[in-house]
Amino acid sequence: MLQFCNIWVRKMQQYLEALRMRMSRPDYLKLSAIPVPRVHRFISESVELCNPDRVFVCTDSPEDIAYVRRQAVVSGEERPLATPGHTYHFDGPRDQGRDRELTKYLVPKWDSLDKALNQVEREEGLTEIKGLLRNIMRGRTMIVRFLSLGPVGSVFSIPCMECTDSWYVAHSVDLLYRQAYEAFRRSGVPDDFFCVLHSAGRLDERMISMEPDKKRIYIDYVENTVYSVNTQYGGNSIGFKKLALRLTIRRAHREGWLAEHMMITGVHGPGGRKTYFAGAFPSGCGKTSTAMIPGNTILADDIAYLRNIDGVCRAVNAEVGIFGILKDVNPVDDPVIWEVLTKPGEVIFSNVLVKDGKPYWLGMGCEIPKEGENYTGYWWEGKKDENGEEIPPANKNARYTVSLKALGNCDPELDNPMGVELGGIIYGCRDARGYVPVQQSFSWEHGIIAYGAALETETTFTLVEDEGKYEINIMSIQDFVSIPLGEYVRNNLEFGRRLRKQPLVFGVNYFLRDLKTGEFLNDRRDKQVWMKWMELRVNRDVDAIKSPTGWIPKYEDLRRLFRDVRGVEYSKADYVKQFTTRVRENLAKINRVERFFKENAKDTPQELFEILEEQRVRLTKVQKKFGNYVSPENLEKEDWMEE
């Protein structure tokens, strides 16, 4: 044992000695105080590879945090706006979203992932990305951040660290994550913590990455390490968002819990009670706006960890901030976040239009200037890109970064080390054709399969690809699953079965359209009503109608909720349009889902096909009795399942 300790100490000293010349004495002492050899090894190897002039170690101290914030502005990666505390940042025209094609798993020769997952052979990928990273930080500072996913020191927490040469990225993580330098310094950090190495690459005079053609984002699950280069966009460069989620999913798989692409919100019900819901929605499908509903509390907007604690499903937010979409945020529909975005306080805007020190974005509900500065440089109305297409004043995927605690409705349980008990789980999609606005599953298994595994949605501007394509997006997490997809579905099924108190499972769709006119059948604010109905269902306060795809609301209950929650009258005609079962479209959806799993997913549980077949049988029964479009009134009046 003594010999092992001596080897451990010698290794630490070797790594520290290699770093001494790159660090000031204060930074050297900060790093020396951490008794974790892998920390020193990762930093030493990253420095040797990237060759920075200096290494800055950021602790949890207010002085270090403030220094990072100042340097983000001094470096030019961020610039101040007129409102105190507000800054803005630009990513390049070809760096405006998560880059699915260039984000890959590094898969060793002895392993394999489903072909639906983007991947490259590990040694080949490491050689490529390390070649791109070699000497890339020459003339710059490497910033080292120590953070925690989940509340520090809890059963949910995962320690992590990021080395980056971007002050914007280093600043962003202050708003998004819990600081954990002290947790690393106190030791007890397991050796399998997550690491990220990121470089923005060569920058132009506007401090924008110049070589998007050399952009790479690789996830090495063997070493729990993320590599990201030649990109600044937060989803590609802030390694602890969706990139580390891929690593967390593997850990959750091994340990029997769930790491999910979910928001968490507290919904107030009668008698002062509060019921917590987690919800998985693909980007651009209403996840953050659901978490921000006025009158409710927000605990998470993006990533949640779910654990079985004494038979109860409890959840925490992996983060403590929001990297949110700005498009269509306005004072009428989003009053909570609008207040934060328009008052003094620490906010980073990205890829907006800036004019006279003010930020502008699409759908903000006011007149937008005809000229200004945006992610393409000087912008004027009618400006076109290299393909002859008109450039909007702000990017559709413009973002804001802000601490959750800046919000007036931030849930007080945000840092509870035991998390909160979930009453319901929601799967949301962008489906113009098929699913009703809200429905409840018949069982845990039915919900996981019919709403989660079968989640089909229209792609949006948050991805660097064409919009408007329909695709299967399992549990809204398919891009991030680093285990076989069939195993992932099985884990969700088994997790629920081990609970003595299962959350109810719901499906929502805010984007249903009229089949004839193409008009949306829902107002954006209707989600307030759907959430209240789900809260009542969890607490067994209202009945529901059995449809082929799930339990749907009764008209009388929705009419009362629309009046109480939104102050509007809800007509029977609107109800019938929204909750008519579209049999033909739902049958076609089942066919597409079955085909996807047969072609793309290894070891798909047979139960998935059985539950989909049961749904097909129910749909066929009502089709024979009522036709392709079945009014909820018909379902309520007759016991169609007995036919």
Looking at every residue in the chain, the average pLDDT score rounds to 92
What would you measure as the largest C-alpha separation in the chain, in angstroms? Answer: 81
Give me the residue spans of the domains in the chain: 2-76+102-255, 258-320+414-642, 323-406
Is pLDDT of 116 > 90?
A: no
pLDDT of residue 462: 45
SS3 letters across 549-588? CEEECCHHHHHHHHHHHHCCCCCHHHHHHHHCEEHHHHHH
Dihedral-angle region of residue 382 (phi above 0 means left; psi in -120 to 50 means alpha; beta otherwise): left
Is pLDDT of 9 > 90?
A: no
Write the CATH number of the domain with boundaries 2-76+102-255: 3.40.449.10
- Angle (CA) 474 475 478, round 5°: 45
Is pLDDT of 71 > 70?
A: yes
pLDDT of residue 4: 47
pLDDT of residue 643: 47
Strands 504-509 and 420-429: parallel
Tokens 């789980």 label which residue? 425
Cα–Cα distance, 606 to 143 (Å, whole number)? 48
Active-site annotation holds for 160: no
Instruction: Average the pLDDT over each of 84-88, 113-117, 353-357 and give the range with the smallest value.
Output: 113-117
Dihedral-angle region of residue 201 (phi above 0 means left; psi in -120 to 50 means alpha; beta otherwise): left
pLDDT of residue 459: 66
Cα–Cα distance, 580 to 571 (Å, whole number)? 14
From 50, 160, 195, 285, active-site residue = 285
Question: 105: Cβ–Cβ under 8 A, 6 or more apart, which residues?
Answer: 113, 117, 118, 119, 120, 218, 219, 221, 246, 482
> Confidence class of residue 419 from pLDDT cuts 50, 70 and 90?
very high
Give percent above pLDDT 70 in the chain: 96
pLDDT of residue 591: 94
Its CATH class, for the domain covering 258-320+414-642, is alpha beta
Cα–Cα distance, 279 to 292 (Å, whole number)? 12
Tokens 């399969």 label which residue? 449
Cα–Cα distance, 534 to 427 (Å, whole number)? 12
Cα–Cα distance, 265 to 297 (Å, whole number)? 6
> Confidence class of residue 464 from pLDDT cuts 50, 70 and 90?
very low
pLDDT of residue 432: 82
Is pLDDT of 466 > 70?
A: no
441 vs 429: which has the higher pLDDT: 441
Is pLDDT of 463 > 60?
A: no
Is pLDDT of 288 > 50?
A: yes
Average pLDDT over residues 540-558: 97
Cα–Cα distance, 321 to 106 (Å, whole number)? 29
Instruction: Average the pLDDT over each of 139-143, 322-326, 378-382, 635-639 and give the range with the smallest value.
Output: 635-639
Cα–Cα distance, 361 to 398 (Å, whole number)? 7
Cα–Cα distance, 306 to 454 (Å, whole number)? 21
Decide: helix, strand or coil at residue 314.
strand
Instruction: Average the pLDDT over each of 67-71, 97-101, 262-266, 621-625 and give the range with the smallest value.
Output: 97-101
> Confidence class of residue 289 from pLDDT cuts 50, 70 and 90?
confident
Rg of the chain taking only CA atoms, in angstroms: 25
Cα–Cα distance, 42 to 123 (Å, whole number)? 18
Encode pLDDT of 487-512 as tens digits.
999 999 999 999 999 999 999 999 99
Cα–Cα distance, 41 to 38 (Å, whole number)? 5
Q: How deeply is 598 buried, as exposed, middle or buried, from its count of CB atoms within 10 A (0-12, 13-18, 19+)?
A: exposed
> Confidence class of residue 283 from pLDDT cuts 50, 70 and 90?
confident
Encode pLDDT of 469-493 as tens digits.
678 899 999 888 888 899 999 999 9
Is pLDDT of 461 > 90?
A: no
Query: 428 and 285 in contact (C-beta within 8 Å)?
Result: yes
